[in-house]
């Protein structure tokens, strides 16, 4: 699986902070990739690959096609929190499309 986005972090602590704290940059990538693939027939959509130096581990984030709606809904809340209303509108349009 080929990932367009790749991050390298010094530690898994940084990774945990990103996931627990809700880093907007990660949500932006997730939303953008989801929106780019809204009409895809692929079952699994690669989003980002994250490498942690301290554990020499790679964490791949993917969106399963059947989880697309839930992924967008969760990230809609994040975009509202960050007042990114342009992405909110794009997400809502995509959700309307998916629910047809």
Q: How many domains does the chain have?
A: 1
Work out whether strand 5-9 and strand 57-64 pair parallel, antiparallel, or are unpaired: unpaired
- Does the pLDDT at position 59 exceed 90? yes
Query: Residue 30: is its pLDDT beyond 80?
Result: yes
Whether the pLDDT of residue 22 is over 80: the answer is no
Per-residue confidence (pLDDT) for residue 21, from 0 to 100 = 76
Mean residue pLDDT of the chain comes to 94
Q: Residue 40 is encoded by which pair of tokens?
A: 């895809």
30-62 exposure pattern, b = at least 16 Cβ within 10 A, e = fewer: bbebbeebeeeeeeebbbbbbebeeeeeeeebb
How many Cα atoms sit within 13 Å of 40 on the Cβ side?
16
Coil, strand, or helix at residue 91? helix
Look at residue 19 in the predicted model and tell me its pLDDT. Answer: 86
Q: How far apart are CA 69 and CA 59, in angstroms?
A: 22
pTM above 0.85, yes or no: yes
Domain that holds residue 65: 5-98
């Amino acid at each position: 699986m080929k990932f367009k986005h790749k991050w390298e972090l010094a530690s898994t602590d940084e990774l945990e902070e990103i996931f627990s704290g809700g880093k907007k940059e990660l949500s932006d990538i997730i939303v953008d990739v989801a929106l780019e693939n809204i009409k895809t027939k692929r079952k699994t959509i690669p989003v980002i690959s994250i490498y942690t130096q301290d554990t020499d581990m790679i964490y791949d984030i993917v969106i399963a096609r059947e989880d697309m709606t839930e992924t967008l809904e969760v990230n809609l809340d994040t975009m509202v929190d960050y007042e990114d209303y342009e992405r909110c509108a794009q997400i809502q349009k995509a959700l309307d499309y998916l629910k047809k």
